[in-house]
Amino acid sequence: MNFSGIDFDTYFKRYPSADGYFGKYGGSYISPELKAAMDEITDAYFTICKSTKFIGELRRIRREFQGRPTPISHLERLSSSIGNVQLYAKREDLNHSGAHKINHCMGEALLAKYMGKKKVIAETGAGQHGVALATAAAYFGLECDIYMGTVDIEKQAPNVARMKILGANVIEVKEGLATLKEAVDAAFAAYAEDYENCIYCIGSVVGPHPFPMMVRDFQSVIGVEAREQFISMTGELPDALVACVGGGSNSMGIFSGFLNDPVDIYGVEPLGKGPSLGDHAASLTYGTEGVMHGFNSIMLKDENGNPAPVYSVASGLDYPSSGPEHAFLHDIGRIKYDAISDDETIDAFFKLSRLEGIIPAIESAHAVAYAMKLAKEMKRGSILINLSGRGDKDMDYIINKYGIR
């Protein structure tokens, strides 16, 4: 299929380019030492991802440990409550450890093992990536250092406990505002010191090359499974596909399976409290081109051009940029990006729980809310939602802030 002059039949062969670009986005804006370490990971990945042993082992892990394939559920009662459009959910919430993040963490940790590394390093904000990586590290017998700001450690006590139980070292970062940005800096610094023994595991399709490509490839299992399952359930493709976009990994995972199909694709960003800078984290909807955390993409900037403060009710979505491939697909118009408010999200959270018996992660509830809105406009057809994770982690927050509706 051709779209804006881009031939999607050969898309994955050409994007990213050898130096990690999707059009003008992506690349690798880092120090020479880190660049050398990233080049080593790129070379290893290109060799290993073609090995039948690596592929076979990843497949076995997905089946025997993660619980893949995850099913697609027809959301019949939610659909009827809106009209004639049929809503379906790809159930990434049913992955071991509760969300899609385990898809790339198992891949990254298996790569570390093949490269002969002893340790995996990462930062975490809300703790979801830290927990998924600690799970993978425990499975493979790797050491695991997770950098986390003091503020987040206090806010996310249950995830800190999970990481520790899984055997990870949670390293407190006290500098600056002591949140995600400082944790990223500290984790990068630690990695630059010791890259011979460890591998840095980024938590989404962001960061310098090869991570946006590698994380997409590991997440693409969602799209491959979903396309086959949806066709075998209904005999056709969905009319529309909807996923929430923070850094953009769960969405890139499902979208990658349908880019070459006549399917309308929607990426849903967090509008938070509204469109004023600081009240949301809708970087593709409101941002401009810029470099942060080692890659060029579309980002939200403050008046000095630095990453702007962002807000979302879903802590997994509050990042001031998104992956470079999203920026590219945004510019060529293959994917439409739009934003959903906190209020619409919470409404969808309770509706999906009550009508379908599925309590979604607040991140995923953004996608559900958007699909509900789209269903009203479309009148007929089908929408496939990527349900990126389950809501167990959000129970205390929901009960305290919203009570039971």
Ligand X SMILES: *Cc1c(COP(=O)(O)O)cnc(C)c1O
Q: What six digits make up the tokens of 5? A: 């002059």
* Strand ranges of the sheet holding 382-387, from the earlier edge strand across to the other edge: 72-74, 86-91, 382-387, 240-244, 264-272, 335-341
The answer to whether residue 320 forms part of the interface with ligand X (CB under 6 A) is no
Q: Which of 79, 249, 322, 388 is catalytic?
A: 388
Long-range contacts of the stretch 53-61 (C-beta < 8 A, 24+): 54/110, 54/114, 57/110, 58/106, 58/107, 58/110, 61/106, 61/110, 61/139
The answer to whether residue 249 forms part of the interface with ligand X (CB under 6 A) is yes
Give me the residues paired with residue 159 across strands. none
Contact flags string 47-86 toward ligand X, x per CB under 6 A: ----------------------------------------
Q: What's the chain's length in residues? A: 405
The tokens 């299992």 sit on which residue?
Answer: 221
Nearest to 208 by CA among 296, 81, 290: 296
Report the helix count and the strand count for the chain, using DSSP H and E: 17, 16
CB of residue 98 to ligand X, shortest distance in Å: 7
What gap in Å lies between CA 183 and CA 185, rounded to an integer?
5
Q: Toward ligand X, which CB reaches closer, 69 or 391?
A: 391
Q: Toward ligand X, which CB reaches closer, 182 or 269?
A: 269
The answer to whether residue 364 forms part of the interface with ligand X (CB under 6 A) is yes
Compute CA 341 distance to the chain's CA centroid, rounded to the nearest angstrom: 19
* Stretch of 60-68, 247-255, 294-302, 332-340 lying at the interface with ligand X (CB under 6 A): 247-255
The answer to whether residue 382 forms part of the interface with ligand X (CB under 6 A) is no
- Binding ligand X (rule: CB under 6 A), the pick from 109, 213, 340, 361 is 361
What gap in Å lies between CA 22 and CA 247, rounded to an integer?
16
Helix runs in 323-382, H state only: 324-331, 342-356, 362-378
- Binding ligand X (rule: CB under 6 A), the pick from 137, 242, 245, 271 is 245
Write the single-letter amino acid at 238: P
Q: What six digits make up the tokens of 132? A: 């998924």
Q: What six digits make up the tokens of 62? A: 């997905």
The answer to whether residue 363 forms part of the interface with ligand X (CB under 6 A) is yes
Rg (CA), the chain: 20
3-state secondary structure of 333: coil
Instruction: Let me know if 101 is a catalytic residue.
Output: yes
CB of residue 379 to ligand X, shortest distance in Å: 29
3-state secondary structure of 242: strand
Compute CA 404 distance to the chain's CA centroid, rounded to the nearest angstrom: 28
CB of residue 92 to ligand X, shortest distance in Å: 8
Instruction: Let me know if 388 is a catalytic residue.
Output: yes
Q: Toward ligand X, which CB reaches closer, 290 or 360?
A: 360
By the 8 A CB rule, do 383 and 86 touch? Answer: yes
The answer to whether residue 321 forms part of the interface with ligand X (CB under 6 A) is no
The answer to whether residue 388 forms part of the interface with ligand X (CB under 6 A) is yes
Give me the residues paired with residue 383 across strands. 87, 240
Q: Toward ligand X, which CB reaches closer, 21 or 319?
A: 319
By the 8 A CB rule, do 311 and 318 touch? Answer: yes
* Stretch of 142-150, 157-165, 266-274, 357-365 lying at the interface with ligand X (CB under 6 A): 357-365
The answer to whether residue 20 forms part of the interface with ligand X (CB under 6 A) is no
Q: Which of 101, 113, 301, 373 is catalytic?
A: 101
- Binding ligand X (rule: CB under 6 A), the pick from 285, 298, 389, 398 is 389
CB of residue 17 to ligand X, shortest distance in Å: 22
- Binding ligand X (rule: CB under 6 A), the pick from 102, 186, 317, 385 is 317
The answer to whether residue 316 forms part of the interface with ligand X (CB under 6 A) is yes
CB of residue 120 to ligand X, shortest distance in Å: 17
The answer to whether residue 248 forms part of the interface with ligand X (CB under 6 A) is yes
Instruction: Let me know if 4 is a catalytic residue.
Output: no
Give me the residues paired with residue 240 across strands. 264, 383
The backbone torsions φ and ψ at residue 173, rounded to the nearest 5 degrees and listed phi first, read: -110, 115
* Stretch of 13-21, 61-69, 74-82, 243-251 lying at the interface with ligand X (CB under 6 A): 243-251
The answer to whether residue 199 forms part of the interface with ligand X (CB under 6 A) is no
The answer to whether residue 101 forms part of the interface with ligand X (CB under 6 A) is yes
What gap in Å lies between CA 102 and CA 67, rounded to an integer?
11
Q: Toward ligand X, which CB reaches closer, 92 or 279?
A: 92
Tell me the site size for ligand X, rule CB under 6 A.
19
Which positions are annotated as active-site residues?
101, 123, 388
Residues that bind ligand X (CB under 6 A): 99, 101, 128, 204, 244-251, 316-317, 361, 363-364, 388-389
